[in-house]
Structures are given as structure tokens and as C-alpha cells.
Amino acid sequence: MAIHFTGLSNQSNVTKNERATKDDANKHSVDTSSTPNSSSLMAADTVKLSGTAKTLKHQESRINNMPEIDQDKVDRIKNELASGNYKIDTQKLAHNMASMDALF
């Protein structure tokens, strides 16, 4: 299975089979008596996360630990509705509706 990262370099994509063929060719062309360990010629695959990726991962874990329902907010709105004191911010509502409409 080949993993392709776009926009990271100007190198062409190399499949796993092509890499194995190149690695085999390199093994045969190098004198193994001068190298203590021929397996050290193979490069290890590594992944390094950027600061942004680490921040996103941290925020994702925080979101996953939050409850799906903000019960305090639900209770507050219920009480305001029951007492007749719930105020609708029409400007905010219109702005949010327009923002949602822009998504489609």
C-alpha cells in the first residue's frame, strides 16, 4: 500500500514495490563486508506531528470528554421560558441564519 502526501516535495511518488526493488538493488551494489549491518541501509519510516496537529489532537480529546448536552444551559433556558423572561436576540438569530445559508 502506497501512502501519497501531496504538496510536501517535488519528488515523484514511489510505490512500495518500487522502493523494495530499489532497496534490493542498493543491497547488491554495496560491499557487505565493509558494512557491519546491511539492514541499516533501509530507511525507517517516521512521522512527526506539527504543533498545529498536536493542538488539534489535544482539542479533540477535550471535546470528546465534554458532555453532548450542556444541561446547565438547558435548565436555564427552560426556567426563562417558563417565567416568560426568555429574550430572543433577533440580530444574532438573523446573522446565524445567514451564516448557515452561506454554507449551502
Write the pLDDT tens digit of every residue in 56-102: 999 999 999 988 899 999 999 999 999 999 999 999 999 999 999 88
Q: Kindly give, in sequence order, each residue whose CB lies less than 8 Å from that of residue 5, ignoring residues fewer than 6 positions away.
A: none
Does residue 2 form part of some domain? no
Does residue 5 form part of some domain? no
Does residue 6 form part of some domain? no
Q: Which three cell numbers stand for residue 70?
A: 450542556
> How far apart are the C-alpha atoms of 13 and 3, rounded to whole Å?
9
> How far apart are the C-alpha atoms of 76 and 90, rounded to whole Å?
19
Does residue 8 form part of some domain? no
Does residue 68 form part of some domain? yes
Does residue 7 form part of some domain? no
Does residue 63 form part of some domain? yes
Domain that holds residue 54: 16-102
Question: How many domains would you assign to the chain?
Answer: 1
pLDDT score recorded for residue 16:
58
Does residue 11 form part of some domain? no
pTM of this prediction? 0.34
